[in-house]
A and B are shown apart, each in its own frame.
Chain A
Amino acid sequence: MSLIIFMTSDRPKFFVISVLLTAFLGYSIFLYSALPIKQTPLNKEADAGKFIWQKYNCNACHQVYGLGGYLGPDLTNAYSFRGKAYIKAFLNAGVSAMPNFHLTDSEINDLLAYLKDMDTSGQSDPRSFTINYDGTIQQ
């Protein structure tokens, strides 16, 4: 009964929304100011490679950490798994589902630098995780 009275007047609603908004903004500001990975100097080649990745919309077909398209494989750790030469051959020729984008040498080098940077950021393979008793996971 008291809950009904509590929720039918306006003041409690404004109170709840204020609490939620404050918590949300606090959470957001915390994440922006204390980003999970401590900033390192910008790797110019890798940064340029990220723009190449975006310019050709690689995300439409490929995944990074399981996020992105489903037509091609996840490329998070492709650099260490497949190697530079293998990736270069793919980029130069294309495959049945992937067109040849006719990338320049400099674009290919930047893209490789980005894939290398991505590879060193962590492991995306789900087999590398362990499951805890409470249903959470850890690497």
Chain B
Amino acid sequence: MTEPFNNKQQLNTSKVFILAGLLLLSAGMLFGLAGALQYLFPDFLKQKLSFEKIRPMHVTTVVFWIIFGATGGALTYLQQHTGKKIYSKLLAQLQLLVFTLTVVAILIFYFLGIFGGREYWEFPPVLALPIVFGWLLFLINFIKSTGSLKNQPVYVWMWLTGIVFFLFTFLESYLWIFPYFRSNIINDMTVQWKSYGSMVGSWNMLIYGSSIFLMEKISGNKNYSHSPIAFALYFTGLFNLMFNWGHHIYTLPTYHFIQYISYAVSMTELFIFGRIILLWKSSLSAALKLAHHIAYRFLIAADVWIFLTLFLAIIMSVPAINLYTHGTHITVAHTMGATIGINSFLMLAIAFDILHDTCIPFARYEKWLRRGNWIANISLFIFWSSLIIAGILKAKWQMRIVKIPFADMMLQLRPLFIILFISGITMTIGFLYILFPLVKNQLICQLKKLTHKDNLKENRPSEFITGN
């Protein structure tokens, strides 16, 4: 069933996954801005689209940007890696259709105020079924296209790990529907955050796998993905995915050993952190050498965010520090650093690599992307810093012996929320600078191709009749 792979300027299913992901990212940013505005003006859209609707809309579109983008990236690079088409185009198309319809249905449900009401997956549980179905199609397609794991580079291991663990943790996050897990809040939250903590690690595996493939493609050096250090880092990541979820629930009155295991496991991340510091000089010289490459610029931006976010993650994994940061905006800063700074910039690098080659020469848009990259990164840094400062202030409030009311504390944070909103706007502008030419060129070229095909059909009636 597998055929040789040819990727030249054709719009295939994996590209549509990425394009849909980019549209979801745009929508996610707009929902995020609307939510930030409600922090400043609580009456804004309160009747039609209040915060309990806007927040899940933002979370869902952004999570599905990651899911769509990661799927498209893995499917494209898997074909480039094997040199063959995926096992079944039909399965991929079906997965795309199922995911797209599900996302649309979820947004409609949110708009109507129909919720399942769980963190991340705030839609009614019945909509989890098509997601599981679509993900199973992805798993089948991946396994059939890859064949054996023997002599495979690290990114194939990472893709497979990401797909399998997402399915496992997604199903695990629905154990609450059984009264056995749901009836006690501590039991429920222990299992819920076990699944969520690992789930984030699973989509990171998918994205990091594609980034390693892209890095090797840009540098032309295929040695890294088979090297012992690549596998050592992969196993460290997997170890953390499996056992480092406990930092979410250090303050929950659950088993103490969850805290000890998570604390100990998270310290293995120092190995990754130390390696980044050790290699900074060679990373810098490689960056200077490859700076002309747009995708590489996004990878460099993600590298800086990996450094900052990992530093924050490690200190937040120390229970004594986590006690102060937990429940504050420092947690949000960490999430934003990871989803925007790391995941989104890695996926923009992947999206650029896969989408920039169209019927329109891309050279004229390179300035847009460079500018967008700078605007988005500087804005994100301001956005991230304001969240950290807001988090420190909330942490101080939480620890005070005599507290002022919650509403007054929020009022004190207002100047930071204003900075957050303004930097959110400039960050959105920066991202749109990057997304616009990628999406526009693809659409124009596909329209041109369609009209060209129609013209050909109209101009060839005799060929059609004679069958030539």
A binding-site residues for B, Cβ under 8 Å: 3-4, 6-8, 10, 13-14, 16-17, 20, 23-24, 27-28, 31-32, 35-37, 39-40, 42-43, 47, 50, 53-61, 63-74, 96-97, 99, 117-118, 121-127, 129, 131-132, 135-139
Contact A71 B251 (CB under 8 A): no
Contact A55 B190 (CB under 8 A): no
Contact B323 A129 (CB under 8 A): yes
Chain B 221-256 residues near chain A, CB threshold 8 A? 226-228, 231-232, 235, 238-239, 242-243, 248-256
B399 interfacial contact with A, CB 8 Å: yes
Contact A53 B117 (CB under 8 A): yes
Contact A96 B42 (CB under 8 A): yes
The docked-state distance in angstroms from the alpha carbon of A3 to that of B231 is: 11
With contacts A35-B187, A59-B117 known, is A135 near B253, CB below 8 A?
A: no
User: In whole Å, how far is B40's beta carbon from the nearest beta carbon of chain A?
Assistant: 11
User: In whole Å, how far is A113's beta carbon from the nearest beta carbon of chain B?
Assistant: 12
Contact A67 B248 (CB under 8 A): yes
Q: Which of A4, A53, A126 touches B251 (beta carbons < 8 Å)? A: A126
Contact B326 A126 (CB under 8 A): yes
Contacts of B119 in A (CB 8 A): 59, 67-68
The docked-state distance in angstroms from the alpha carbon of A74 to that of B409 is: 13
Contact B184 A64 (CB under 8 A): no
Q: Which of A7, A32, A96 touches B191 (beta carbons < 8 Å)? A: A32
Q: Which of A58, A71, A121 touches B184 (beta carbons < 8 Å)? A: A121
The docked-state distance in angstroms from the alpha carbon of A55 to that of B112 is: 12
Contacts of B332 in A (CB 8 A): 70
* Centre residue among B150, B189, B253 by max chain A CB count within 10 A: B253
Q: Which of B38, B47, B235, B253 touches A139 (beta carbons < 8 Å)? A: B253
Contact A124 B187 (CB under 8 A): no
The docked-state distance in angstroms from the alpha carbon of A47 to that of B179 is: 9
Contact B186 A37 (CB under 8 A): yes
With contacts A20-B235, A54-B118, A126-B398 known, is A121 near B253, CB below 8 A?
A: yes
Contact A47 B39 (CB under 8 A): no
Since A31-B190, A65-B251 are in contact, a sample of 19 more A-B pairs with Cβ atoms closer than 8 Å, ordered by chain A residue number, is A3-B228, A32-B191, A35-B180, A36-B253, A37-B187, A42-B179, A54-B115, A54-B116, A59-B122, A60-B53, A67-B248, A74-B327, A97-B38, A123-B253, A127-B398, A131-B319, A131-B323, A136-B259, A138-B256
Provide 17 A-B residue pairs closer than 8 Å at the C-beta atoms, listed in order of the A residue: A16-B235, A27-B243, A32-B191, A35-B190, A37-B186, A37-B254, A53-B117, A54-B115, A57-B56, A60-B56, A64-B185, A67-B189, A69-B51, A99-B46, A99-B50, A121-B184, A122-B253
Q: Mark B169-207, 1 if CB is under 8 A from A, else 0.
A: 000100100011111111101110110000000000000
B151 interfacial contact with A, CB 8 Å: yes
Contact B55 A60 (CB under 8 A): yes
Name the CB-closest residue of B to A65. Answer: B252
User: In whole Å, how far is A57's beta carbon from the nearest beta carbon of chain B?
Assistant: 4
Contacts of B190 in A (CB 8 A): 31, 35-36
The docked-state distance in angstroms from the alpha carbon of A20 to that of B236 is: 11
Q: Which 8 A-B pairs have the closest CB atoms?
A: A54-B117, A66-B327, A7-B228, A122-B253, A97-B42, A60-B52, A35-B187, A73-B406
Contact B323 A65 (CB under 8 A): no
User: In whole Å, how far is B327's beta carbon from the nearest beta carbon of chain A?
Assistant: 3
Q: Which of A35, A37, A43, A60 touches B51 (beta carbons < 8 Å)? A: A60
With contacts A36-B255, A59-B119 known, is A70 near B399, CB below 8 A?
A: no
Contacts of B151 in A (CB 8 A): 10
The docked-state distance in angstroms from the alpha carbon of A7 to that of B234 is: 12
Contact A67 B193 (CB under 8 A): yes
Contact A7 B242 (CB under 8 A): no
The docked-state distance in angstroms from the alpha carbon of A122 to that of B185 is: 10
B142 interfacial contact with A, CB 8 Å: no
Contact B327 A67 (CB under 8 A): yes
Q: Mark B121-134, 1 if CB is under 8 A from A, else 0.
A: 01000000000000
Contact A61 B51 (CB under 8 A): yes
Contacts of B47 in A (CB 8 A): 99
Contact A58 B117 (CB under 8 A): yes
Contact B259 A137 (CB under 8 A): yes
The docked-state distance in angstroms from the alpha carbon of A117 to that of B187 is: 13
The docked-state distance in angstroms from the alpha carbon of A61 to that of B239 is: 32
Q: Which of A37, A56, A64 touches B115 (beta carbons < 8 Å)? A: A56
Name the CB-closest residue of B to A131. Answer: B320
Q: Mark B52-71, 1 if CB is under 8 A from A, else 0.
A: 11011000000000000000
Contact A137 B228 (CB under 8 A): no
Q: Which of B46, B182, B249 touches A50 (beta carbons < 8 Å)? A: B182
Contact A31 B194 (CB under 8 A): yes
Contacts of B184 in A (CB 8 A): 35, 37, 39-40, 121
